[in-house]
Structure 1
Amino acid sequence: MSALNQTEKNLLYLFEKPYEPLDRPRGVDEAGCDIATPVFLSSHSGPGVETCVSVLKRTDAVLANLGAALTVPKGKPFSFFLRPHRRAAKDLCDVFMETKEPEDLIQVAASVRDKVNEGLFAYALAFTIIRKPELRQMRLPAVIETFPGWFVPQEELTHALVKANKENRQQPETIIIEHGPDFSSTTIKAEHRVSYWREDYGINSHHWHWHLVYPASMGVNRDRKGELFFYMHTQMLARYDMERLSVDLRRVQKLENWRQPIPDGYFPKLTVNNSGRAWGSRQDNTPLMDFRRRNSGLDFVDITDIEIWRSRLLDGIHQGFMVDREGKPVHLRDDVASGKRGIDIIGDAIEADPELSVNFPYYGDLHNTGHVLIAFSHDPDYAHKEEMGVMGDTATAMRDPVFYRWHKFVDDMFQEYKLTQPPYTLEDLQLPDVKVERVGVVWGDQSNSLVTGWSVKEFEASRGLDFNAGNPVLLRLTHLDHQPFNYHIMVVNKKQEPIQVTVRIFLAPRENELGETMEFMDQRLLWAEMNKFTVQLEPGSNDIVRASKESSVTSPSELTFRDIEKGQRGTPGSPDKAEFDFCRCGWPQHLLLPRGKPGGMAFQLFVMITDFEKDKVPQTPSSRRCGNGVSFCGILDAQYPDSRPMGFPFDRRPAPVLGEQRITSAADLATLDNIFLQDITITFTNSNLEK
């Protein structure tokens, strides 16, 4: 680790205290920025000690070219689901991306920061940092520290502010905001049993970060982007359903009848800025209404519009082709030797990205518009001057129960397509001369028995909000976690030479809501990817040991401002620094496992070995490799590193018979030598974990 240089510090501190002028103290040294001519950053190394670093104020023509970036009002929510807000983000990102070097970016960003919406500014600066080659070593601070009001109820933040104003300035105390598993609701309503999961800081940060990496309407056309939109969200639903089964709830039901009220309301108790302005709340049984807000910049939208888009998309899926803007058919199939897969085409059309959709005017903007209609359902015409609900922001949407009902509908659209694809053949699934002899998971001295409970993570709320406190104001968040474990896999290579293989690991509950062992199609959408990695098998027996923290799905813990100030960052192309690399957008490591039940809950671990020669994708030598989060986030500036369809082998209906084996369950697939199914138990302790 190495300390940040002054340029990197200045760039980092632009994320701090977004609602305060730049001359407010910030950073561990309380740096501040005065945008009088010239702009300068001041650094306080102690009481009465101040140093200043000059930053040139920019008045050149590029700042006059902010375009739509000035149309999103300050102090209001920034919503990437609103097309006018995406245009604003594109214009601001274009300005930032045109800068020539880090110091140039700092000057431009500091000069426009107080002119544009706070959420928009943070988004555009983060977008730029992860894409500029010269900033590849810069890490993004946890979004919860920049915007704590998006994660913690206003009442708790206000209590800390009052306490800070009463403290003894000569002997200031560290103020701690405790936010625990009771979160923002009681368990009177059944849906609140999983609020600890929906409102977890990690999954909401992940969702914000993923849409930063894979945005719509931003000129980003990364490899298999539409398919990744499908896969990341379907995996999210699988994990949510496992959590629901852990607390004896049914799997989530899709929101498909938009003429009926939404049964479950949501009251976020969060604020959109530091003035105390609250996010909109939705009462139980709120109906969706036609969108008629004149102040949003968005054209009026009717419920009928999304019903028409749904019908057109389903027509294309079941006809086997969509129609492009010239009226020509675009065939949909995943087994293609070149060009885009059908699932990728459908993903770009459903999300929808106007630049990538096969025919945006015809197939519309279904996914994003659904978020908008739900987010404004409590005040669709601005009659009450209420802010949008949390469904309108990628950093808060996953808190709301209806997010999962909406995405279950979206996922069912994808599944309609997936079930039209031919089942995998024996040749697709088997790997001759390779046999998995044994699989297990080990924690401590326990085998095939994993444990979950509660852990605590601390963030600095005073990095995002000004509490006027002598010491940092800390957020102490209690969240679900698990004891780390290892996979142990014994594989026999019957060949006389070494072979390179891919190891694919999935987890799913063994039983459904009725306590019955699930058949293949009942269990198919519950398989959560746990890991995927390559390994060389030597001739004979091979013992593979893989740590749970090395998952291809998850990201390490969120980096705080202090982590970054201490020098935690990556080196481009350095595998040993992968945990600090681009793939930090992955699923939170602490939610790798579902909760399970106090008395133990039965799960199945599915391990499959496939031929790396068939799986590999050619990459350029300069592409950045990283092990964390790659299954959800891919590799920056490179192709997705697995040629198989995402979710293979569970993304399709199985063949009725493989060889002489009838396929009715995952256990039937495990009769192939290269597949193994292992029963395990996950026990929830409901106590603090000691790691």
Structure 2
Amino acid sequence: MKLPIVLLAFMGIATLVSTKNATVADKSYLEKQKFLYEIVYRIEDPLMFEEWIKLGKHLIVEKSFYDHYDIHMEKFWESYKEKALLPKGEFFGNLVKSHYMQTWGLFNFFYYAKNWEVFQRNVCWARMHVNEGMFVHALTLAIIHRDDFVGLMLPYIYEIFPQHFFDSRFIYAAEKFDFNIWSKYAMYEKQYLDVYYKNNNNNDSMGSYVHMKDWKMWQWWKLMGLDKQWYMEDNYMLRENIYKHNKDSQWLSMMRDVKMMWMPVDYTRDIDFANEELRLSYFTEDVEWNAFWYYINMDYPFNLDGKTFQLQNDRRGEFWMYAIQKLLSRYYMERLSNGLGDIHRISRSQSFEHGYNPRLVAYNGLGFSYRKDYYHLYDSGNFDMLERLREFFARVERVVDLGYYTMKDGTVVDLRNPDAADMIGSILQGNIDVMDKYFFNYWYLYSHMYVADVGFNDVEVVPHAFLNLETVVRDPLFYSLHKRILDVFYRFKDSLGPYQREELSFPGVYIKDVKVSEMVTYFDLFDYDVTNLINGKMRFVDGEFKWEKTLLARQMRLNHKPFNFEITVESDKAQKVYVRVFLAPKHNELGQIIPLNENRLNFFSFDKFSYELSAGLNTIKRNPADYKFTSPDSLTYTEMYHYIKLAYEGKYEFHLNMSYPHFSFPNRLMLPRGWAQGMPMQLFFMVTLDDDDHEQFDYTFSCGLGSGRRWFDKKSLAYPFDREIDEHDFYVPNMYFKDVMIYHQDNLKFYRQHNYTNYGHFDYKYFENYYTKGLMN
């Protein structure tokens, strides 16, 4: 199925036109992109696009229309005919085994379709006949993994299923929203408030006091005198790079007739002294933080084999473990910012003190179940599944300690070499590329199903945060489970011994100095597009859909101000090098310095890039805008659809760099929150030889999945912190540690003052500096 892109372009499938500045989409691409955005619009409602309804009358099941036809496709079709598929409207969990197995067959119908026409007809059929969650999961995998779909995209998962990212109170309000009723109510309320707050006479009234006395962090709307209700957005959507669009006449013209309504959204909260973990809800429930884990597992799902999908080129097992280490190190820094300590490992002998209630509601209206305080692994009662999980960990640890594995056919696999990291990672993920299929036992699914109290073969299940990749990161128990997984992986890494000095040093290269500008974080406001929740009749004119209303969730989120660093490097000759940058804490929650070897798992991969050194002194300048593996705020579902429509009508050039690849880490989350007085941290810089002849892909629209070019060199992805550290050999001239402070700025202080004059109205003026920060670079 994996065909060279050049061949695909020749065949007329890869329909991208290169220009000097960016890649511009042609009519064929835009037609496909428009289809994908329409097919998932209001996903839980019946399909209303007549053109796509006509195409979806039948699922094409003749084998001649596919490059490959397998048992999973046969089982899916038989299950559908026997009415054994998960019904529409039921909760779908992509971490529930029975759901995943059914999705596997549907994905194959999408992936192995010989051409766009077969694929499109199958998608239209599935949209009308298959469970909503199952359909989106299979479609997302197909769009990501088909080579002939390079550059095509779906809306972000939080725009397709906002229910999995925002609290139930907001979801209910959005689903009940009626513009006609709301507009009359809003008109009368505005007249009342304009009189009530005239000259700010009532700002200090008892009513204001009652409204404010239970104010908590992130409830910014109370400080402005607003409530949890819908407001008309008459200016522009809020995001940090909005300045690129709200001054553009074409954008203003395009969005002029779109009515935008927003409502404040809160995070899950509780009494802090009762559940200290909820101090971090602004981070663990961050929309893009959760989406990041979802897309990592969409890129490397456990059931797609490395040979067919070329995932072995990307060191899939090692990368999956690297991603876990990255999440845990970043989470730990945020814990330290809030005065919390180590991540507790999940254990059969100890209970988990703090429970979690996600306060989410599924698209079928069922609320998510919660995990009670002092949760213990034995609480579920499914001892057979628990024993299977225990046996899995015991077997993997035994294999790691032995240093080799004997397969069924007698082949001995050596695990005492660095290349075995990919094999160990695959075992721990339980993916299909494990060296022995006996290890491919769905243990990772079972670990989530067990916490959610789901049996081996259950089909109809109660919604739970642990049953979907896009919701599981919200639960603090996620980090405890994955710390246990990471422990096993680094048990293997420790068996390799520390790096020797010659494996770390780079003769002739010396980092002389590093300068870092001030690093400051703050909370800004952002509008998430939740239009998929809207109700009401869709309007069509001459068969074309008119997108006239948009609902926005306005939420406070962590961000940082622009910063930069300069690395002064001396080289004895001109050469190509690779630069690694890590961020890590210096002290634990008690203020004690963390020894380097103990701290090595807390080093968060900050930046990686290739650079051409000249002989002599070199000054390397870098800022977050340069990072290839991070992304700024993207255009919303609404904006993208309107741009696609304009381009399809020949009124706009649609550049593929208008959006960003799904795999990128959110740039705004690069820094932990820090402290007002400054939180001590450290940056680590390392320069190594770049002797790998690699051709990089276009990061502006491609993920390079399966290309083997995602990583610049062949060293471990977490090098040099992936092995135990012998400080006698570790410090070499091509390394540099830099102490830094991360400051947190309280940008809500202004609203707590009594002389705030715009009470009762949203204040655009104050936030203007933050949303134009890109102009200050």
TM-score calculated relative to the size of structure 2:
0.74
What is the Cα deviation at residue 184 of structure 1?
4.1
Tell me the equivalent position of 2:182.
167
Higher mean displacement: 229-238 or 460-469? 460-469
Q: Distance in 1 between matches of 2:644 and 2:435?
A: 42
Are the structure 2 counterparts of residues 533 and 35 from structure 1 closer, same or farther at C-alpha, using a change threshold of 3 Å? Answer: closer
Tell me the equivalent position of 1:344.
422
What is the Cα deviation at residue 15 of structure 1?
1.7
Q: Distance in 2 between matches of 1:414 and 1:519?
A: 21
**2:652 matched to 1:562?**
no
What is the Cα deviation at residue 280 of structure 1?
1.6
Tell me the equivalent position of 2:450.
373
Q: Distance in 2 between matches of 1:255 and 1:506?
A: 27
Tell me the equivalent position of 2:265.
179
Q: Distance in 1 between matches of 2:278 and 2:408?
A: 45
SS in 1 for 2:662: helix
Map 1:84-123 to 2 at 5 A: 84-123=98-137
**2:409 matched to 1:394?**
no
Q: Is the 8 A contact 1:102 1:134 kept in 2?
A: no
Q: Is the 8 A contact 1:530 1:553 kept in 2?
A: no
Are the structure 2 counterparts of residues 634 and 244 from structure 1 closer, same or farther at C-alpha, using a change threshold of 3 Å? Answer: farther
Q: Is the 8 A contact 1:289 1:373 kept in 2?
A: no
Aligned with residue 322 of structure 1, among 399, 405, 418: 405
Tell me the equivalent position of 2:490.
415
| Letter in structure 1 aligned against 2:529 | E
| Letter in structure 2 aligned against 1:371 | H
Q: Is the 8 A contact 2:333 2:585 kept in 1?
A: yes
Are the structure 2 counterparts of residues 285 and 394 from structure 1 closer, same or farther at C-alpha, using a change threshold of 3 Å? Answer: same
| Letter in structure 2 aligned against 1:416 | R
Are the structure 2 counterparts of residues 13 and 291 from structure 1 closer, same or farther at C-alpha, using a change threshold of 3 Å? Answer: farther
Map 1:124-163 to 2 at 5 A: 124-163=138-177
Are the structure 2 counterparts of residues 358 and 467 from structure 1 closer, same or farther at C-alpha, using a change threshold of 3 Å? Answer: farther
**2:563 matched to 1:485?**
yes
Q: Is the 8 A contact 2:60 2:122 kept in 1?
A: no
What is the Cα deviation at residue 356 of structure 1?
1.4
Map 1:278-677 to 2 at 5 A: 278-289=367-378, 301-335=384-418, 341-353=419-431, 355-361=432-438, 364-376=441-453, 387-442=462-517, 449-466=518-535, 471-495=549-573, 498-565=574-641, 567=643, 580=659, 583-613=661-691, 616=692, 618-619=693-694, 624-626=697-699, 635-641=705-711, 642-655=713-726, 657-658=728-729, 669=731, 672-677=732-737
Are the structure 2 counterparts of residues 657 and 567 from structure 1 closer, same or farther at C-alpha, using a change threshold of 3 Å? Answer: same
What is the Cα deviation at residue 459 of structure 1?
2.3
SS in 1 for 2:368: coil
Q: Distance in 2 between matches of 1:580 and 1:163?
A: 29
Tell me the equivalent position of 2:755.
none
SS in 1 for 2:169: helix
Tell me the equivalent position of 2:287.
201
Q: Distance in 2 between matches of 1:627 and 1:652?
A: 33
Q: Distance in 1 between matches of 2:440 and 2:118?
A: 41
Are the structure 2 counterparts of residues 287 and 19 from structure 1 closer, same or farther at C-alpha, using a change threshold of 3 Å? Answer: same
Higher mean displacement: 359-368 or 60-69? 60-69
Aligned with residue 269 of structure 1, among 352, 359, 362: 359
Deviations 1:445-485 (A, max 9, x none): xxxx2100112221221224536697321111211010122
Q: Distance in 2 between matches of 1:536 and 1:35?
A: 51
SS in 2 for 1:22: coil
Q: Is the 8 A contact 1:555 1:585 kept in 2?
A: no
Are the structure 2 counterparts of residues 611 and 60 from structure 1 closer, same or farther at C-alpha, using a change threshold of 3 Å? Answer: closer
Q: Distance in 1 between matches of 2:177 and 2:295?
A: 33
Q: Is the 8 A contact 1:488 1:545 kept in 2?
A: yes
Q: Distance in 2 between matches of 1:327 and 1:465?
A: 60
**2:745 matched to 1:685?**
yes
Q: Distance in 1 between matches of 2:361 and 2:304?
A: 27
Identity among equivalent pairs (%)? 25
TM-score calculated relative to the size of structure 1:
0.82
Higher mean displacement: 137-146 or 236-245? 137-146
Tell me the equivalent position of 1:17.
42
Are the structure 2 counterparts of residues 168 and 687 from structure 1 closer, same or farther at C-alpha, using a change threshold of 3 Å? Answer: closer
How many residue pairs align between the two structures? 616
What is the Cα deviation at residue 87 of structure 1?
1.9
Are the structure 2 counterparts of residues 450 and 218 from structure 1 closer, same or farther at C-alpha, using a change threshold of 3 Å? Answer: same
What is the Cα deviation at residue 317 of structure 1?
0.5
Aligned with residue 304 of structure 2, among 209, 215, 218: 218
Q: Which has the higher helix share?
A: 2
Are the structure 2 counterparts of residues 56 and 250 from structure 1 closer, same or farther at C-alpha, using a change threshold of 3 Å? Answer: closer
Are the structure 2 counterparts of residues 579 and 305 from structure 1 closer, same or farther at C-alpha, using a change threshold of 3 Å? Answer: farther
What is the Cα deviation at residue 598 of structure 1?
1.8
Q: Is the 8 A contact 1:204 1:398 kept in 2?
A: yes
Deviations 1:140-169 (A, max 9, x none): 211111101101111112223444263248
Are the structure 2 counterparts of residues 486 and 21 from structure 1 closer, same or farther at C-alpha, using a change threshold of 3 Å? Answer: same
What is the Cα deviation at residue 185 of structure 1?
3.6
| Letter in structure 2 aligned against 1:167 | W
Deviations 1:61-118 (A, max 9, x none): 3599544676233223333333332322221111011223334322220112121121
Q: Is the 8 A contact 1:507 1:604 kept in 2?
A: yes
Higher mean displacement: 552-561 or 210-219? 552-561
Q: Distance in 1 between matches of 2:738 and 2:111?
A: 49
Q: Unpaired segments of 5 or more residues in structure 2? A: 1-23, 64-72, 188-230, 233-259, 539-547, 646-654, 749-766
Tell me the equivalent position of 2:198.
none
Q: Distance in 2 between matches of 1:317 and 1:84?
A: 31
| Letter in structure 2 aligned against 1:475 | A
Deviations 1:399-431 (A, max 9, x none): 001000111111111111111112111111111
Q: Distance in 2 between matches of 1:380 and 1:291?
A: 13
What is the Cα deviation at residue 639 of structure 1?
4.6
Deviations 1:348-384 (A, max 9, x none): 111111x21223435744333211111227x99999x
Q: Unpaired segments of 5 or more residues in structure 1? A: 24-31, 40-54, 294-299, 336-340, 443-448, 570-575, 664-668
Q: Is the 8 A contact 2:160 2:532 kept in 1?
A: yes
| Letter in structure 2 aligned against 1:279 | F
Q: Is the 8 A contact 1:390 1:397 kept in 2?
A: yes
| Letter in structure 2 aligned against 1:406 | L
Q: Is the 8 A contact 2:59 2:121 kept in 1?
A: no
**2:343 matched to 1:252?**
yes
Q: Distance in 1 between matches of 2:51 and 2:387?
A: 51
Name the larger-Rg structure: 2
What is the Cα deviation at residue 530 of structure 1?
0.5
